[in-house]
Structure 1
């Protein structure tokens, strides 16, 4: 008996080896086998499939996929003061792969964990920054690392008010989170992308959206109801 397949794993899941076996959307792909390599918390699978190339011939391929669930992230901004609200926390994977101290500036984010994307992003904004998001604008949804990770990340934006930035730290202590709340002038945040001080992909994408097509775009009607944040 194998945990996650025949018996529940520590998150209560079974049948994890069935994921992807019934896909029929691409006639050039035939799933042959799905193996669960790990399901300690997230799920690592190895999938064997036949793939038809453009010239018509078929080849047998194997790929590993890391399934951590889908997530959501949000850019909190104040157009009146031209500031954004970010977080700073330790990220071990970045630390072991060349980041000087592993302390990354990011937009508030988290996994959906059964909630809708907007519910999840409102939850994460409250947990990580102390701000309560009344409504949020959906910006886009993307696959962040489609070559190996299944996650889709939903991007949002919402205003916050200066009075809501009373906390300097956030996060769920029971989950080991120790998150600093960082308010920055928007122009400085953009400069920190160029200087390499901001290297988090989701933060970079939302900051550049805000400059090119969002609330800090020249001539943008900053007063439109994109969502507000209170405390």
Structure 2
């Protein structure tokens, strides 16, 4: 009788978010995008989870058929934080808009003077429908109970690396709609100031750099063409 061949008992390391739960209890995060087949010029070969933080960072390897017909293997990292929604609240009779101001560390560390960005109210969907989510955010951040919503468009804000698609809305408001304290959710570290700004001043703030947030610039420029356009 011969002894069995020795086996390699080294355990294959587990990966949070893949085969064991990550900090949010998720598994299978490496499957996102693996079965995509809508574009015949793209063949996904591997998806790796490279971060198990609150949001998900993935490295995807795929073959891409270029315009000359040649296939090339490429890698891209994608940051998946979920989709979001944003809203411009406006008072047409007073010719004002209601915006927020809050500290944004990523902007601060990348050259913004103090990190205090002036923005339209916004937030992640958190598994809600976009209209539900943006009503929630308007209430939490600005204390406004939103009535009639107008959906403007959906945009990919940083498609080179971030998967997020943002749903854009506008809605009128009056003083009667200010039904709550606003200020954000304290338990989430939010400390948000509400700003009522004349619309003409808001446009001037884009020109001189006081408003430097992309989604806010987009909605204000849309409003200049569609809500506050002069004859």
TM over 0.5, yes or no?
A: yes
State whether residues 168 and 181 of structure 1, in contact with CA within 8 Å, keep that contact through their aligned partners in structure 2. Answer: no
Counterpart CA distance in 1 for 2:75 and 2:48 is: 11
State whether residues 139 and 180 of structure 2, in contact with CA within 8 Å, keep that contact through their aligned partners in structure 1. Answer: no
Q: Deviations over 1:166-216 (max 9, x none)?
A: 877510000000000000000000000000000000110000000112x21
Q: Which residue of 2 aligns with 1:127?
A: 140
Matched positions, count:
218
State whether residues 103 and 115 of structure 2, in contact with CA within 8 Å, keep that contact through their aligned partners in structure 1. Answer: yes
Counterpart CA distance in 1 for 2:230 and 2:132 is: 30
Q: Which residue of 2 aligns with 1:18?
A: 31
Q: Which residue of 2 aligns with 1:226?
A: none
Q: 1:84 aligns with which of 97, 105, 110?
A: 97
Structure possessing the higher relative contact order (Cα contacts under 8 Å, 6 or more residues apart): 1
Deviation at 1:40, TM superposition (A): 1.1
Structure 1 residues not aligned, in runs of 5+: 220-231
Counterpart CA distance in 1 for 2:25 and 2:149 is: 32
Counterpart CA distance in 1 for 2:201 and 2:116 is: 18
Counterpart CA distance in 2 for 1:169 and 1:66 is: 29
Deviating above 3 A after TM superposition, structure 1's stretches of 4 or more consecutive aligned residues are: 163-169
User: TM-score normalized by structure 1?
Assistant: 0.91
User: TM-score normalized by structure 2?
Assistant: 0.91
Does the residue aligned with 1:170 lie in a helix, a strand or coil?
coil
Counterpart CA distance in 2 for 1:159 and 1:139 is: 14
Q: Deviations over 1:25-55 (max 9, x none)?
A: 0010000100000021000000000000010
Q: 2:53 aligns with which of 40, 47, 53?
A: 40
State whether residues 85 and 124 of structure 2, in contact with CA within 8 Å, keep that contact through their aligned partners in structure 1. Answer: yes
Counterpart CA distance in 1 for 2:109 and 2:181 is: 27
Does the residue aligned with 1:207 lie in a helix, a strand or coil?
helix
Deviation at 1:17, TM superposition (A): 0.3
Q: Deviations over 1:72-98 (max 9, x none)?
A: 000000000000000000000000000
Aligned pairs for 1:179-218 (under 5 A) are: 179-213=192-226, 215-218=227-230
Does the residue aligned with 2:218 lie in a helix, a strand or coil?
helix
Counterpart CA distance in 1 for 2:52 and 2:225 is: 40
Structure 2 residues not aligned, in runs of 5+: 1-13
Counterpart CA distance in 2 for 1:74 and 1:94 is: 21
Q: Which segment is superposed worse, 115-124 or 155-164?
A: 155-164
Q: Choose 1 or 2 for highest CA Rg.
A: 2
